[in-house]
Chains A and B, each alone.
Chain A
Amino acid sequence: MNSSRILTLLFAIATLMGTGPGLYLVGSPTEEGLAQSLLGVPALYAWVAFWFLVQAGIILMASHRFWVHRDEPAQ
């Protein structure tokens, strides 16, 4: 699989985890009815921040490695 496809797949995973069904993993209350937390940070907030950073990193890489070559029109 070439690197642009790997980045596309990673972006799709980050979107599913950060904004989609992945939210079930951290968004549900515990058995005691409490919210989950991660090192004192509410887990849902930490989860969203993490997957956003993954998405941003992928877009930065894609922009510099792939998109830049499409700037100029073919002759």
Chain B
Amino acid sequence: MKAFVVMGAHEVAGGYLPHLLLGAYMVLLVWLCYLGYRKGKSTEEDYYLAGRGQGLLVSALTIMATMFSSAALLGIPGTVYRDGLAFVPFAMNLTVGGLGIYFLGTRMNRLGKARGYVTPADMIGEYYGGTSIRILAVSTGVLYVLPYVIMQIKAGGYLAERLFPDAPPIHVLGREFDMFDTGVWVLSLLTMAYVLVGGMRSVAWTDVVQGFLLLTGMLVAGLATVLYFQSQGGFFRAVSTLPPEALTMPGATGKWNPWMIFSICTIVALGAVIQPGQWMRFYAARSVKTLRQCALIFAVVLPTCFIFGIMVVALGARVEFPPAWKAPVDELQAAEAWHGDGDYAEGARVRYADGLFEAKGKVSSGQVFEPESWNPVQKLYPHEALGPEPSDTDKAVIVMTQLAVPEVFGAVFGSIVVTIILVAVLAASMSTADSNLHALSAVLTRDVYDRYVSPDASERQKTWFGRAVIVVATICAVALVEFSNESSGFNPLKLITQLMLLALSFCSQLLPVAIDVLFLNKGTQAGAVAGLSTGIAIVVLLNFFPEYSLGVTSVLHLCAVGVLANALVFILVSRFTRKVPGDRVEQFRRIIRGER
């Protein structure tokens, strides 16, 4: 195994370049936040939808930046690093997502403008009527937002560790903050501040800067990786030397069979474009034409950045920093050593010659260890340059960028590019965290506080309640990240991709009702409630107890299983329950057709 010296940007430049560029980025965000505050009006609609007048540039980049979370630059390439080419088709979910923006988003835009909707529950609740459906729509939003914000905040910690690896811990109020903690807190507090002050206008304007940084960062990092491998006979030649498990389906961990990828690239893709933050952006766009153009840019530009940009970096990292199969350290220590005079039941685990083994069947005593009677127990661990834990695969892009870019672009210019790419990772996290905090605030203010807690509240009171939601949600998310980082017994989904897909599994449950409201108009209130409840229950149950899926979730993604069950119950119950009043259905159809 080759020994690599992975350079941080500060080492290359030998100075304060990362501090300066990071500082400039943050000053720019504060300035945009101030502009958003100056231009905003103190009404609920302006705070949450920026006056429904967002043009093409802002809409396109805010939709892309909201979709581009830390998963785009850490989690997804981390999965490509771990599993190899089997996860590359994942990028094609974005073309289907682009279609979703056009077919679902343009209809939502017309309804939102005509009926004054702000949140997803406004539309669904008014169409079906009743309280239950609104509460369920709120629940999907809340269940979606928290894991999504958590994963963005974690990324801030990863990034700070890489940008300032030698920085000493900071002491505040008697507590020591290492670089991970500092990154987590700085990202959270800055994001919270500009969402609080400027609302949707600040969020969208900062998304423009962040989206531009992201697109550039992904493509430049991909280009640098391809150029880096020129000295080794070319990028594809290097990738072809990877072991077959990294070049074929279902990937190194055996998880990504074609049906699993297909379910993600169709159902999860459509679910992702109706996450609460995106749904509100469809209401906020100036016109249907704006959204049509956004859909086109989204469907073409984003997959390009993945397939020819960031996934290339991850594959390069797989070549230069190969992962290795090893026995899990804690399980190895817990297992008893093999001894020849023991009898072992099926599934018993023993330690033998630095390896961990599980008995295939009953194993009787014998003088010699017989490997054919035992299965090795191993996990894929990343190269030591990435970190000691399996979840450190998420750092593949950061490490590869720090290796390839200075070599390709030279020490000084390379260090600037590295820092910009690392700031792009930060931008990816912030742009998604801000959109989701903002959406959560809208959902809880509009659909809970305004409707059930204090219906007579003034616009000012509602805006302040929304701001309080942002503060509480941010603190909860930071607390969960810190707790999971410090406690070895609490490890809720350490991998960013897993967090992303779980979050999307919740928000995707609105897909059947959204399709019914926008296209079919066959469902009923009881059907929608029954379907949504089923979908949410299935996602929760199978996420914590996957054995109850009877193997279905190893073929189709959990999200798709939940949506399919949801749709089935929705159709069945709708056949036997009271229809939505005909005049309401006709009103909705007219608005969607664009009739005045």
Contact = CB atoms under 8 A, between A and B. Distances in A.
Contacts of B96: 15
A72 B292 CA distance: 11
Interface stretch (B233-241, B435-443, B515-523, B530-538): B233-241
B247 A44 contact: yes
A60 B307 CA distance: 18
Chain B interface main SS type: helix
B110 interface: yes
B249 A52 contact: no
Contact of B89 (A19, A67, A70): A19
Given A42-B240, A49-B307, A28 B249 contact: yes
Contacts of A70: 106, 288, 292, 594
Contacts of B593: 73-74
Interface in B70-94: 85-86, 88-89, 91-93
B244 A18 contact: no
A18 B261 CA distance: 10
A30 B112 CA distance: 53
B265 interface: yes
Interface string A49-74: 10110011001100100011011111
A9 interface: no
A21 B258 contact: yes
A71 B289 contact: yes
A11 B106 CA distance: 20
A19 B289 contact: no
Contact of B258 (A24, A51, A68, A74): A24
A72 B594 contact: yes
Nearest to B99: A59
Contact of B261 (A20, A55, A72): A20
Contacts of A44: 85-86, 88-89, 247-249
B248 A15 contact: no
A54 to B, nearest CB: 10
Given A16-B262, A60-B300, A24 B247 contact: no
Contacts of A59: 95, 98-99, 295-296, 299-300
Contacts of A51: 92
A35 to B, nearest CB: 3
A31 to B, nearest CB: 12
A60 B299 CA distance: 9
A26 B287 CA distance: 42
A11 B269 CA distance: 15
A57 to B, nearest CB: 9
Contacts of B228: none
Contact of A71 (B288, B299, B303): B288
A23 B249 contact: yes
B93 A19 contact: yes
B96 to A, nearest CB: 7
Given A27-B86, A63-B292, A20 B258 contact: yes
A56 B244 contact: no
Given A24-B249, A24-B258, A42-B236, A74 B86 contact: no
A34 interface: yes
A73 B92 contact: no
Given A21-B258, A40-B236, A52 B248 contact: no
Contacts of B325: none
Interface in A2-45: 11, 15-16, 18-24, 27-29, 33-37, 40-42, 44-45
B261 to A, nearest CB: 5
Contacts of A21: 258-259, 262
Contacts of B261: 19-20, 23
A73 B594 contact: yes
B266 A15 contact: yes
B300 A48 contact: no
Contacts of B247: 35, 42, 44
B596 A67 contact: no
B239 A48 contact: no
B287 A71 contact: yes
Given A67-B292, A68-B292, A19 B92 contact: yes
B92 A18 contact: yes
Contacts of A22: 258
B596 A73 contact: yes
A8 B262 CA distance: 17
B595 interface: yes
B186 to A, nearest CB: 37
Given A44-B85, A56-B299, A73-B596, A28 B248 contact: yes
A29 B308 CA distance: 24
B249 A73 contact: no
A29 B248 CA distance: 6
Contact of A41 (B236, B258, B288, B595): B236
Nearest to B251: A27
B86 A40 contact: no
B283 interface: no
B287 to A, nearest CB: 7
B102 A52 contact: no
A40 B596 CA distance: 58
13 contacts: A18-B89, A22-B258, A44-B85, A44-B247, A48-B85, A49-B308, A52-B92, A56-B299, A56-B304, A59-B98, A73-B288, A73-B596, A74-B593
Top 8 A-B pairs, shortest CB-CB distance: A73-B594, A27-B249, A35-B247, A20-B262, A19-B265, A23-B258, A71-B289, A44-B85
Interface of B: 85-86, 88-89, 91-93, 95-96, 98-99, 102, 106, 110, 234, 236-237, 239-240, 244, 247-250, 258-259, 261-262, 265-266, 287-289, 292, 295-296, 299-300, 303-304, 307-308, 593-596
Interface of A: 11, 15-16, 18-24, 27-29, 33-37, 40-42, 44-45, 48-49, 51-52, 55-56, 59-60, 63, 67-68, 70-75
Given A45-B236, A56-B303, A59-B299, 14 more contacts: A15-B265, A19-B266, A20-B258, A20-B261, A21-B258, A21-B259, A35-B85, A44-B249, A52-B91, A52-B95, A56-B299, A59-B296, A73-B595, A74-B593
